[in-house]
């Protein structure tokens, strides 16, 4: 199993329609084959003030993760939404010990 996580801050004003539209558009990722337990999360820790949101999802194996990365819906989301609208991010992937 691979757990893929990313925390990020958007370029949009907090609570703006643009912020909501981005978070709603991200739901396309949940429908990609191989994605399990997709979550959109609000970051609440004062220890990470540079980030406001997170996405978390799981994949059964490396093949499922690779399929997600190469899927046209993921590629389009990164190109059309992520790159123009995300100000900062940190991505971390985990496997169980």
% of the chain with per-residue pLDDT over 90 = 96
What's the mean per-residue pLDDT of the chain?
97
Confidence of residue 63 (pLDDT cuts 50, 70, 90): very high
User: pTM above the 0.95 mark?
Assistant: no
Domain ranges of the chain: 2-94
Instruction: Assess whether pLDDT exceeds 90 at residue 48.
Output: no
Q: How far apart are CA 62 and CA 4, in angstroms?
A: 11
Task: Check residue 15 and give its pLDDT.
Answer: 95
Cβ proximity of 91 and 2 under 8 Å? no
Q: What is the mean pLDDT of residues 57-75?
A: 98
- CA separation for the pair 50, 4 (Å, rounded): 19
Residues 19-30: pLDDT tens digits?
999 999 999 999
The CATH label, of 1.10.10.10, 3.40.1260.10, 3.40.50.720, 3.30.70.100, for the domain at 2-94 is 3.30.70.100
């Amino acid at each position: 199993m691979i757990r893929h996580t990313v925390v990020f801050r958007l370029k949009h004003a907090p609570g703006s329609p643009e912020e909501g539209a981005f978070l709603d558009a991200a739901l396309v990722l949940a429908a990609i084959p191989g994605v399990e337990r997709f979550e959109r999360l609000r970051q609440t820790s004062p220890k990470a003030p540079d980030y406001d949101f997170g996405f978390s999802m799981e994949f059964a194996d490396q093949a499922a993760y690779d399929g997600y990365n190469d899927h046209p819906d993921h590629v389009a989301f990164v190109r059309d939404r992520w790159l123009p609208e995300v100000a900062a991010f940190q991505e971390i992937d985990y496997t169980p010990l």
